[in-house]
Amino acid sequence: TARPLEIAARPYPFRVADRDAVALLVIDMQRDFLEPGGFGAALGNDVKRLQRIVPTVRRVLDAFRDHGLPVIHTKEGHRQDLSDCPPAKRSRGAPGMRIGDVGPMGRILVLGEPGNDFVPELAPAPGELVVPKPGKGAFYRTGLDARLAALGVSHLLIAGVTTEVCVQTTMREANDRGYECLLIEDATESYFPEFKVATLEMVRAQGAIIGWTAPAAAVLEAL
C-alpha cells in the first residue's frame, strides 16, 4: 500500500503519493568547496559560509538512512587527464590555481584527489549511490536519470552546494526531465548570501516553476 508524504513547503505543500518514490540528492558536499585550499577557495571565496550547513545536511541524511530511503551523493570532479574538462571551464581561474593544478589538498577538482572527496561528516554510507559529474548539473554526462528511473524515483529532495550553481543547475535539469523537486532551504548554501535568497525565491516563484522549498525541520517532521 502507498504511503503518502506531505511536506509543509513554499509556495504550497509538497505532496508525494508514495514515499518510496522519494530520494535525497546531496550535491557536491566536497572538501573542494568547503575547505581552504580547494576549488572554491581558489576562486577567492570564503568557504566557511558553506561549512555551517553540514550538521543540517547530516540530520536529513540520517533521517533518510533511518527510513531506508535512497540517498544519492554527487561529486564534481574531472578525470586525471582532464579529458572531460572543457577549456572553457578550465580557463576561468587564476593561473596556478586552476582545475588540475596542484593545491594543498591535491589536484584541484580532480577525481580521486584528497580535496575532491566528501567532507568526512557526510561520507556516503555503503550502498548509497555516488555520482561523479564533470559539469555543474548532475544530469549532464552522468546517467543519473537512468539510475533514478531504475530506483522508481520521481521526487527529489535536494541539499548541498552551491545553491545558485550546481544545486540550481541540477534542480532545473531535474525539473525539465519531469521530476518534482524540493530544495531544503537550510541544507543548501552559497558563497554569496544574496544569491541563495534569490535562488530560493526564483525556484518557487510562479507557482513552483522549478520546484518547492522548505526548511529541514519540515522535511524531518514529514518523514
Binding site for ligand C5J (CB under 6 A): 28, 33, 76, 136, 161-162, 165-166
Does 62 participate in catalysis according to the annotation? no
Residue 183: C-alpha distances to residues 14, 156, 223 (Å)? 11, 8, 15
Question: Nearer Cβ to ligand C5J, position 73 or 136?
Answer: 136
Catalytic residue among 28, 32, 85, 181: 28
Question: Nearer Cβ to ligand C5J, position 71 or 167?
Answer: 167
Backbone Cα Rg of the chain: 17
Q: Where do we find the cell 531544503? A: 184
- Cα distance between residue 71 and residue 63, in whole Å: 10
Nearest-CA neighbor of 123 among 213, 76, 57, 189? 57
Question: Nearer Cβ to ligand C5J, position 10 or 75?
Answer: 75
Question: Nearer Cβ to ligand C5J, position 20 or 78?
Answer: 78
Residue 97: strand, helix, or coil: coil
- Cα distance between residue 115 and residue 130, in whole Å: 16
Catalytic residue among 20, 166, 181, 196: 166
- Cα distance between residue 170 and residue 1, in whole Å: 31
Q: Which residue is nearest to ligand C5J (CB)?
A: 166
CB 160 within 8 A of CB 124: no
Residue 50: in which H helix or E strand, if any? Answer: helix 48-51
In the complex, minimum distance from the CB of residue 1 to ligand C5J, in angstroms, rounded to a whole number: 38
In the complex, minimum distance from the CB of residue 166 to ligand C5J, in angstroms, rounded to a whole number: 3
Catalytic residue among 75, 133, 136, 196: 133
In the complex, minimum distance from the CB of residue 100 to ligand C5J, in angstroms, rounded to a whole number: 15
In the complex, minimum distance from the CB of residue 3 to ligand C5J, in angstroms, rounded to a whole number: 32
List residues with catalytic annotation. Answer: 28, 133, 166
